[in-house]
């Protein structure tokens, strides 16, 4: 059976309102803050990963749920404009499209405030089984924002793997701070690549005080290759035996929103192109770094040639 898509993303898609950077603590009491930039753009970890992969030349579809509202129509149009197939993006007649406000600071940190809308009801019925069977790779995002979908992920990913697809998961943050160790343990055996950042890796492993490498080793014991994103320090991958590291490429970030999702897209694209993990790690890090050149998660996502050129300039020939 021929593949329909290189990548199917199961995840979140919503407008992001990105404002900042703040140069002092946020104050309530109806105090107005003036910041240099504000942007309405496409957000959601799943949507940003999907757009990044499409920008790199993959054929990409996204499955999830949006509302029957202006925000949902904005999301669908923005995804389609970037070459992502939205035929499996279901419209909910009663709940609104999720909406996120991202407040950035001058030190590069940010706060994220999300009204979940349709995320709470997104579930396995939003994922066409035919797409799982006809995609070369299936990536799931924002595990903790979509509890119904999270509970179904073990079976959904098993269906994809049985049809020959690779699988990956980027849990992102857990707003409740529980990190759901039991549920995640059921998912990880069906995941080929787990893609947390350093803070998330330690929390997922249940050992916030442990080193990131120890956390990755603990998570890899459940089956996946663990690829940890560590900002300016680069990234590393642990496959249960060896640790591979990349320093990435130098960047002077304008905005780091979505950089980890662009990293995910780069890693998936490189692996699907048959690159060994070490080269895929370098390529992913370049994609993440280059995505920080503009405000928002999708505006500066690189093409394949741009990422390769950045690596070549830094002595990393692919």
DSSP letters along 176-217, please?
A: TS---HHHHHHHGGG-SEE--BHHHHHHHTT-TTS-HHHHHH
* pLDDT value for 106: 85
pTM: 0.95
Whose tokens are 């992920």? That residue is 153
- Domain ranges for the chain, please list them: 5-25+35-313
* pLDDT value for 250: 86
Tens-place pLDDT, residues 283-308:
999 999 999 999 889 999 999 999 99
In whole angstroms, give the CA distance from residue 56 to residue 273.
Answer: 11
The tokens for 139 are 């990536």
In whole angstroms, give the CA distance from residue 142 to residue 129.
Answer: 20
CATH number, span 5-25+35-313: 3.40.1190.20
In whole angstroms, give the CA distance from residue 167 to residue 180.
Answer: 20
In whole angstroms, how far apart are CA 89 and each of 40, 63, 147, 188?
A: 21, 5, 18, 25
The tokens for 124 are 């396995």
Task: Considering only the C-alpha atoms of the chain, give the largest distance between any 2 of them, rounded to a whole number of Å.
Answer: 61
Tens-place pLDDT, residues 83-123:
999 999 999 999 999 999 989 888 878 889 999 999 999 99
Beta carbons within 10 angstroms of residue 4's beta carbon:
15
For the chain, residues with pLDDT lower than 70 are 1-2, 181-182, 208-209, 317-318
Whose tokens are 């994220």? That residue is 112
In whole angstroms, give the CA distance from residue 61 to residue 135.
Answer: 9
């Amino acid at each position: 059976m021929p593949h329909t898509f290189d990548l199917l993303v199961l995840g979140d898609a919503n407008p992001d309102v990105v404002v900042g950077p703040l140069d002092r603590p946020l104050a309530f009491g109806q105090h107005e803050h003036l910041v240099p930039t504000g942007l309405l753009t496409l957000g959601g970890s799943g949507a940003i990963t999907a757009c990044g992969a499409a920008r790199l030349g993959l054929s990409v579809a996204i499955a999830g749920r949006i509302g029957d509202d202006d925000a949902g129509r904005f999301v669908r149009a923005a995804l389609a404009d970037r070459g992502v197939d939205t035929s499996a993006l279901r419209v909910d007649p009663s709940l609104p499209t999720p909406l996120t406000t991202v407040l950035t600071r001058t030190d590069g940190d940010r706060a994220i405030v999300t009204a979940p809308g349709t995320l709470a009801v997104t579930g396995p019925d939003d994922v066409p089984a035919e797409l799982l069977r006809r995609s070369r790779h299936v990536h799931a995002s924002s595990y903790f924002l979509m509890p119904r979908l999270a509970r179904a992920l073990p079976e959904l990913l098993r269906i994809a793997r049985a049809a020959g697809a690779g699988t990956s998961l980027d849990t992102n943050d857990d707003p409740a701070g529980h990190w759901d160790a039991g549920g995640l343990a059921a998912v990880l055996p069906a995941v080929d690549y787990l893609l947390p950042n350093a803070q998330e890796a330690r929390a997922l492993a249940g050992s916030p005080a442990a080193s990131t490498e120890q956390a990755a080793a603990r998570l890899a014991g459940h089956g996946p290759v663990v690829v940890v994103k560590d900002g300016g320090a680069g990234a590393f991958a642990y496959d249960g035996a060896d640790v591979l590291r990349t320093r990435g490429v130098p960047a002077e970030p304008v905005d780091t929103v979505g950089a980890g999702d662009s990293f995910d897209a780069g890693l998936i694209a490189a692996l699907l192109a048959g690159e060994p993990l070490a080269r895929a790690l370098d390529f992913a890090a370049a994609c993440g770094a280059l995505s920080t050149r503009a405000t928002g998660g999708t505006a500066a996502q690189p093409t394949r040639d741009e990422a390769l050129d950045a690596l070549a300039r830094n002595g990393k020939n692919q």
